[in-house]
Amino acid sequence: MGRFIECCCTSVGEVTEAVAGGASRIELCENLEVGGITPSSRLIRQVLDVCPLPVNVLVRPRGGDFVFSEEEEEQMKQDIRNCKELGVNGVVIGALLGDGSIDTAMMRRLIQAARPLSVTFHRAFDCCKDPFRALEDVIALGCDRLLTSGLASSAYEGRELIARLVSLAGDRIVIMPGAGIRPSNIAEIEKGTCAPEYHGSAHSKRGTTDRKVVSQLVNDGD
């Protein structure tokens, strides 16, 4: 059995490639050039119509920082409700305070809106000032998994911190490394972190998700 790969996709075509390559789950978003934002309802429907895998949807109203206004919170709650109505597997969310800590109050409200869907806390975590306090906050909120690069520009560079997070988390939450995961480095990241799931876009040289790259991530890393 290969690695558990959550493939980040932005179109139906990319989802088709991810499925063909053996991915275990899809994270759906749009506008990766700004780090990803909430995809349109039309795209979510199109993907759900053709995808046999669980689909988690990024809920993020804009690029930039992760300190959100009341209006942006209301938009996220509406997007979450829309995701529930459409029948997705889960949502991928995150919110911070200006001091670099988790906005636990806003997160509680977003999670309340999301349940019973699966909840992933996204890479807003990598902007936190204290990752160990932030980890405990995310666990206390009841999130199912945490997507992180270990506060580095890539999961490979952050692998030592990710390993510490995996150890501290135990079975309380899934720690999922993401950012810059490639066939050339996933084996070393896996060996160093012992994380149970991995997140990547699996792009080929064309700049889009490719079934061959997905298969390499799942099966052998080379």
Burial 35-63 (b: 16+ CB within 10 A, else e): bbbbbeeebbebbbeebebebbbbbbbee
Q: Is the pLDDT of residue 51 over 60?
A: yes
Question: Considering the chain, what is the average pLDDT of its residues?
Answer: 97
- Encoding tokens for residue 165? 């997070």
Q: Cα separation of 189 and 195, whole Å? A: 8
pLDDT at 221: 58
The string of pLDDT tens digits covering residues 201-218 is 999 999 999 999 999 999
pTM of the model: 0.95
- pLDDT tens digits along 76-117: 999 999 999 999 999 999 999 999 999 999 999 999 999 999
Q: How confident is the model at residue 182 (pLDDT cuts 50, 70, 90)?
A: very high
Q: Supply the DSSP symbol for 99.
A: T
* Burial (0-12, 13-18, 19+ Cβ within 10 Å), 20: middle
Residue 184 has pLDDT above 80, yes or no: yes
Rounded to 5 degrees, φ, ψ at 96 are -125, 160
CA dist., res. 105 & res. 127, Å (int): 18
Whether 193 and 213 have beta carbons less than 8 Å apart is answered as: no
At residue 220 the predicted structure's pLDDT band, cuts being 50, 70 and 90, is confident
Complete domains list, the chain, with CATH: 4-219 (3.20.20.380)
Verify cis geometry, omega within 30 degrees of 0, for the bond prior to 116.
yes
State how far the Cα of 38 lies from the Cα of 68, in Å rounded to an integer: 14
The per-residue pLDDT for 114 is: 98
